[in-house]
Structure formats: C-alpha cells, structure tokens
Amino acid sequence: MIKYDYGNSDYTIAGSDNGLNISEAFVTYKDRIAEIITDLNKRKDKPGQFLQWMNLGYSEETVWYVKEFAALVENRFDNILVLGIGGSALGGIAITEALLKPYWNFLSKEQRNGLPKIFFLDNIDPDSISGLLDILDLKKTLVNVITKSGDTTETMAQFMIVKDRLEQVLGDNYRRNIVATTDKRTGILRQIAEQEGYKTFVVPDDVGGRFSVFSAVGLLPLALVGIDIDEIINGIKDMDLALKNTDINQNIAAQNALIHYLLDVRKGKNISVMMPYSSKLRYFSDWYAHLWAESLGKQYDNDNNVVNVGSTPIKALGVTDQYSQLQLYNEGPNNKIITFIRVENFDTVVEIPKIFEYTGIGYLGGKTINDLMNAEADSTKVSLTDYKRPSVTVTLPKIDGYHVAQLMYMFEVQTAIAGALYNIDTFNQPGVEQAKNYTYALMGRAGYEDSAQNFRSKISV
C-alpha cells in the first residue's frame, strides 16, 4: 500500500503558528469524520448523489467490455487518438504518462511490443491540432472521442475536424476508426454515435468528469495501449477497503483532507502545492489540480450562504521546480501546504560514473541518480520545515498500476471528505458555465442571444 506521513504539518515540527496539533485535531474531528465517511458510503448507490465513482472498482462488466474491445482491435492500429477535455482527458494522460515506458511515442513498434502510440488532444490550439493530424496516418488511427455531456464545444469541434479527415481518407469505412465514450442515453454525441453506428462505451450515471478516470473514460485508452487494467482495479479495491474505515486514525484520505482543511481555515494555508519527485507523475498533478480546484472552489455552501471557499492547487515537479518555485515556497507568503510524492523504488537504477574526481563534483561519482532524487526530496522538505512551512508526504513503493490507482483513488476520497468539511457541493461546477455560455453566444449557438448582448456590454476591448 502507499504510505502517508503528516509529521511535518504538526506544530511540533512546523511551529504552532503554521502547524496543527494533529493528534488533538483527530480527537476533535473523530466523530465528524466518521459521520462523513459513513454518509458517503451510505449515499454512494443512490441516484443523483454523484458518488457512483466509489463503485467503479467493482464494475466487472466495464472491465470485461473494455478488455474485449482492446483484444478485438489489437494489431489493427498504430495510433490511439483521444479527444476530450477536463475529466475526459486528464486521468488518461496522468496514468499513461506514469505507466508507459518513458518517451513511448518515440519507441519503435518492436520496442512497444506492437502496441500503438497514444496521443491526447485536450486543447483546441489550431497549430497543435493540425500539426498532429499532419503526422498521424489516420487509416491506422483509432479515435476515442470522450465527452460525458456529449456536447462540450472543444471536444466536439475537434471531433468534427477529425471525423471529416477520417472520412476523406477512409471513405465509408471511417466508422471503424471511431469509438465514442459518452452518456448512456442523452447528449449529442450519443445521438450521433447511434445514427452513425459507432462502437460506444458508457460514462456511468452519477460519475462527474473529474471522478471518471476509473470508468471507461480512463480504462479504455489504458487497455488500448496494453496497460494491465486488472492491476488498476486491484489498487482501487484495496484502497477503497482501507478508506471505508471510519476511524480517522486509520484513514489516510480523511487525515489528509482534515489537515488541508484545517490548515486553510485556521492557518491561512489556502494553496495546495502538489510536488511529485518523479517525472512519470508529472501529469498526476494536472489531474489533481482539476479535481481539487473544481470540486472545492465554491461560492455557496450547502446552506446557501456565500462562502467563496477553496484551496488553490499548484502543480510543481521535483526536482525541476526547486529551481523555479522553491524560493517562493520558502521565503514568500506562508500560505501553502506542500504535498510531496515520493517513489521508493524506481524501475531503473542509474549510477553516476566516478569521473572528475579531482573537482568539486567528484563527490557525486559512485552514487546513483536515485539517491540524489530522494536526497533532494528530503532536503527540500526539511528546508521548508526550517522556514516553518507545513508539508505532507505520500510514498509509493513503486510506480505501477496498483499503486498509481491507489494514489488517485485516495485523492478522490480525500476531495469528497474535504468538500463535506467545507460544507459545499463537491460534485458541481456552476462557476464554469458562464464562460461556456459566452462562448456559445460568440460562436452563434441558437438560444444564447441574450448572453451575446450581455457579453458585449462588459467587454473592454
């Protein structure tokens, strides 16, 4: 199992102005936390609660269909192209980056064991879209278009471009190169998929985008590039079992949720820095930033009071950002909690050769890059502590499907518990609607004429 250590957020180490009396907090919040965990588990099967993500580890049917399809298309495609945005892309990006061999798309077919390359288009930058379409052989590309709502502007615009290009190169056979992941019944993509006869997968009811990584949204792209999804499922299940424990002393997601919440409301640490010491986990931070920001940043609480709460996620990468952001973290405003993600055993051990022994860098010779990476994580953590900056550490024994799934599921549960502590709706995102409405208005979607007028009255340039 992954390990969690909160010691450097305790007042005995971080000081009483910036750290918490954690054992006292656990006693004070013991009942509240037990109540929240019990409530989440009680409500998770009820429609309309948006808690179905807690059941995804047990969805044997999805796993079966995903594996069946992956086996069916094995060896047919050289590329997988995923179209999606937000929760429809970030989980897949995070896990493929973590679990595939580094520089996967640069490896030869033999080095990839015949498995396809994978590309995610999660933006609508015209240059990157056309650049990618210029290099992909679309005849050998399987396009997985993913959108739960079925009408997300960016995803559907990409899809319209890609579908048109597919048709140009494949004629009537283009449908065989498309698989759509969307709502079971509703939405424009569902309607198109049925009319056109695409193979489809379902985003289950009551699973929001940022909690959908373990549905077909994430599992299908993973299976298509040969990632062992059983390992992932086992990781979720074991973590789910551990996190059903209502005792805060035994539940690491509850501990981390409470520590983040209290450091925010009591000590003004309203910025949450995610800093994995692993390049493979670089995009885990993007996924986390979406999950944490969109779930917790809310104007109203559940009693309709204006609260404007939330903790701002920041993405950092160890050690790279020691040379970019650490100065601010140590000496700037003391308003952050840093989460270190550590890896005990990397897949490879890289030795630093014993050369230049006569110079000041000679001390590095004979050590490993692995030692250096972990020494840097420890040094950064202790230097933050010297400046009285609180931090927590999550340690993965290694980067594999089992532990990465545990990590992500832990943060999903942590987010749900934090949302309950803030007394907000963790699963909605009303704050992103207005910008979408203005975009519809600017692009001439029928029914958004008022938004267009409203927009014109407020734009300054």
CB 156, min distance to ligand PA5, A: 8
Closer residue to ligand PA5 (CB): 210 or 342? 210
* Cβ-contact 94, 227 below 8 angstroms: no
- How is the chain split among helix, strand and coil, in percent rounded to 5? 55, 15, 30
46, two tokens: 């009820």
CB 209, min distance to ligand PA5, A: 2
Locate tokens 């989460």: which residue? 339
Closer residue to ligand PA5 (CB): 208 or 313? 208
Q: Within its chain, how far is the Cα of 111 from the centroid?
A: 27
Residue with nearest beta carbon to ligand PA5 = 209
**Which of residues 19, 92, 116, 208 is near ligand PA5 by CB under 6 A?**
208
Closer residue to ligand PA5 (CB): 85 or 377? 85
Identify the helix (H) or strand (E) that includes residue 167. Answer: helix 153-170
Question: Cβ–Cβ contacts within 10 Å for residue 46, how many?
Answer: 11
* Cβ-contact 225, 102 below 8 angstroms: no
Q: Cα dist. 153→8, 85, 201, 249, 443 in Å?
A: 44, 10, 20, 45, 10
Closer residue to ligand PA5 (CB): 87 or 92? 87
**Which of residues 190, 210, 298, 342 is near ligand PA5 by CB under 6 A?**
210
Alpha helices in 188-273 (DSSP H): 188-196, 216-224, 229-243, 252-267
Segment interacting with ligand PA5 (CB under 6 A) among 132-140, 207-215, 319-327, 375-383 = 207-215
Q: Cα dist. 16→44, 262, 267, 277 in Å?
A: 38, 13, 10, 28
Residue count at the site for ligand PA5 (CB under 6 A)?
14
Residue 184: which residues within 8 A CB-CB, separation 6 or more? 190, 202, 203, 204, 205
Segment interacting with ligand PA5 (CB under 6 A) among 15-23, 202-210, 252-260, 409-417 = 202-210
**Which of residues 91, 209, 235, 276 is near ligand PA5 by CB under 6 A?**
209
Coil, strand or helix at 5: strand
**Which of residues 88, 385, 426, 437 is near ligand PA5 by CB under 6 A?**
88
Under the criterion CB under 6 A, does residue 152 sit at the interface with ligand PA5?
Answer: yes
Cα–Cα distance, 126 to 145 (Å, whole number): 18
Question: Cβ–Cβ contacts within 10 Å for residue 132, how many?
Answer: 16
Closer residue to ligand PA5 (CB): 10 or 294? 294
Closer residue to ligand PA5 (CB): 82 or 239? 82
Closer residue to ligand PA5 (CB): 37 or 216? 216
Largest CA distance in the chain: 74
Q: Where are the beta strands (DSSP E) in 110-176?
A: 117-121, 141-147
Among positions 47-86, residues that touch ligand PA5 (CB under 6 A) are: 85-86
Coil, strand or helix at 119: strand
Closer residue to ligand PA5 (CB): 69 or 211? 211
Q: Per-residue string for binding with ligand PA5, 259-298, x by CB under 6 A?
A: -----------------------------------x----
Under the criterion CB under 6 A, does residue 147 sit at the interface with ligand PA5?
Answer: yes
370, two tokens: 């692995």
368, two tokens: 């490993």
**Which of residues 21, 149, 246, 423 is near ligand PA5 by CB under 6 A?**
149
Under the criterion CB under 6 A, does residue 437 sit at the interface with ligand PA5?
Answer: no
* Cβ-contact 209, 172 below 8 angstroms: no
CB 211, min distance to ligand PA5, A: 7
Short-list 407, 374, 403, 402, CA closest to 284: 407
Segment interacting with ligand PA5 (CB under 6 A) among 11-19, 29-37, 205-213, 396-404 = 205-213
Closer residue to ligand PA5 (CB): 34 or 293? 293
CB 292, min distance to ligand PA5, A: 11
**Which of residues 87, 221, 401, 419 is near ligand PA5 by CB under 6 A?**
87
Closer residue to ligand PA5 (CB): 86 or 313? 86
Cα–Cα distance, 60 to 67 (Å, whole number): 11
Specify the pairing of strand 312-315 against strand 336-345: unpaired
* Cβ-contact 166, 178 below 8 angstroms: yes
**Which of residues 9, 29, 57, 148 is near ligand PA5 by CB under 6 A?**
148
CB 154, min distance to ligand PA5, A: 8
101, two tokens: 């061999």
Segment interacting with ligand PA5 (CB under 6 A) among 52-60, 206-214, 330-338, 385-393 = 206-214
Closer residue to ligand PA5 (CB): 88 or 385? 88
CB 58, min distance to ligand PA5, A: 22
DSSP letter at 7 equals: G
Locate tokens 């940043």: which residue? 297
Binding site for ligand PA5 (CB under 6 A): 85-88, 147-149, 152, 155, 208-210, 294, 429
